[in-house]
Amino acid sequence: MRRSNSGCSALLIVAVVIVGFVVLLRFNAPQTMPTVIAPPNPATSTPEENAISRLLREGFGEDSTPLPTVAIPEVMPTIPPLSIEQDMTPIVVGAGDVQDSSVAVALVVTPTPPPPTATPSDDEELSATQVDATRDPNSWQPPALIPPISKNPLGYDHYWFVRPLDANANNWVLEVYPYGTDGPSQENPLRQHHGIDMSNRIGERVRAAAAGVVIWSADGRQDEVDYFQNSPSYGNVILIEHYNQYRGQKLFTLYGHLSAAFVQVGDIVEQGQVIGLVGNTGQVTGPHLHFEVRLGENRYGSTVNPVLWMVPYVGHGVIAGRVLDASGNYPSSLQDIPVTIRRVQDGRTEATTTSYIYLNSGSDINDDPNWEENFVVADVPTGLYDVIAIINGQRVVERLEVLEGMTNWVVLQPEERPTEVPTESP
């Protein structure tokens, strides 16, 4: 009897397990839901509506914590204008009212030394003259171009040398005493200038214009005067013979009036290397650098205009030309006459110079072997200019466009006036 009850209990337990398993499978089986595709309702949806916008429209997230917001002001704030203390009322002027805006700054010039063939005696004492510069040496100056440059289509240009001073020093050429002239005063002329001057304070660094070998170097002492080529006016001098030659001719650069020299004879220098310091040694009225370029020989009578060899500034060019009479000659009567560079845009005078003075001696200056010029203007901003001179009573004007980094050529020559034939009286 006991065996029969225990068999029934086992069968009952198995049946309960099977039923529970079937029920468990039933609840965990995947249920297929019918797919309903409904056309969009034009009143509640647009073709551009996506899933996120639909969720927002149905109120998704309304029970969540709201994000912090910043109230949008009804009136936008205004920025107060800066207070201007100066009167900024514009001044309108015409071309005829524009005056030369040259800045009068007292600078110094170098009296060019006498020929090296004789030492000046006491009664031939060289005099230094103080003049007014037409350009402020403390004004901003653009960077110089990188040599070598020869943009002339015929290959006439030879801008091989860097400017001999630091970019933040004064590299402007003294306009009132350029190469080949005798200074601004007709009544008290200076000596014929064989180089160019750049006024600077004592101690400005002087750099080699190109690579070469030092063939002369002063000791830099202030208490003695070095006689360079029989002249005391140069003061302390460095002279470099350069490696590059021009058409088989040697090239030299000279740096005068130095307060110190950092190189010795025989030293090899690189382009841009610091070789000395600006000073006021020799016969000067103030500190500046006297810079020369010599072609062919190292002598006083072999100089050429350094402006045609030293790279111009960025955005600037050089004007060179000839002043001639109606027959195409350059007589002594045309030497030392003023040449004016005037901007076409506003009539402003950009620069002035004078034509070369020739001594007809072994100590004379020289025109360039390519250009054969008799006047040069350094560092003229690019643009359109009128070049003006009075030649034998005639006003000659030539229009010229100045291009960057090259010599811009102009010839000033009056028209030949017809000879008047006297008429016979009846």
Average pLDDT of every residue of the chain: 78
pLDDT band at 329, cuts 50/70/90? very high
Q: Model's pTM, two decimal places?
A: 0.68
Q: Has residue 394 been placed in a domain? A: yes
Q: Has residue 383 been placed in a domain? A: yes
Is the pLDDT score of 117 beyond 80? no
Q: Has residue 44 been placed in a domain? A: no
Q: Has residue 241 been placed in a domain? A: no
In SS3 terms, the chain reads as CHHHHHHHHHHHHHHHHHHHHHHHHHHHCCCCCCCCCCCCCCCCCCCCCCHHHHHHHCCCCCCCCCCCCCCCCCCCCCCCCCCCCCCCCCCCCCHHHCCCCCCCEEEECCCCCCCCCCCCCHHHCCCCCEEEECCCCCCCCCCECCCCECCCCCCCCCECECCCECCCCCCCCCCCCCCCCCCCCCCCCCCCCCCEEEECCCCCEEECCCCEEEEEECCCCCCCCCCECCECCCCEEEEEEECCCECCEEEEEEEEEEEEECCCCCCEECCCCEEEEEECCCCCCCCEEEEEEEEECCCHHHEECHHHCECCECCEEEEEEEECCCCCCCCHHHCCCEEEEEECCCCCEEEEEECCCCCCCCCCCCCCCCCCCCEEEEEEECEEEEEEEEECCEEEEEEEEECCCCEEEEEECCCCCCCCCCCCCC
Q: What is the CATH number of the domain that holds 335?
A: 2.60.40.10
Lowest mean pLDDT among 71-85, 261-275, 297-311, 394-408: 71-85
pLDDT band at 59, cuts 50/70/90? low
Is the pLDDT score of 376 beyond 90? yes
- What is the reported pLDDT for 52? 57
- What is the reported pLDDT for 375? 97
Q: Has residue 45 been placed in a domain? A: no
Q: Has residue 393 been placed in a domain? A: yes
- What is the reported pLDDT for 233? 82
pLDDT band at 223, cuts 50/70/90? low
What's the number of domains the chain is made of? Answer: 1
Q: Has residue 112 been placed in a domain? A: no
- What is the reported pLDDT for 391? 96
Lowest mean pLDDT among 205-214, 333-342, 409-418: 409-418
- What is the reported pLDDT for 132? 41
Q: Which of 145, 242, 135, 352 is nearest to 255 (CA)?
A: 242
Host domain of residue 358: 316-412
Give mean pLDDT, residues 335-358. Answer: 95
In terms of pLDDT, which residue wins out, 396 or 49? 396
Give mean pLDDT, residues 397-401. Answer: 97
Residue pLDDT, tens place only, 149-167: 999 999 999 999 999 999 8
Q: Has residue 162 been placed in a domain? A: no
Label residue 116 exposed, middle or buried (CB < 10 Å: 0-12, 13-18, 19+). middle
pLDDT band at 313, cuts 50/70/90? very high
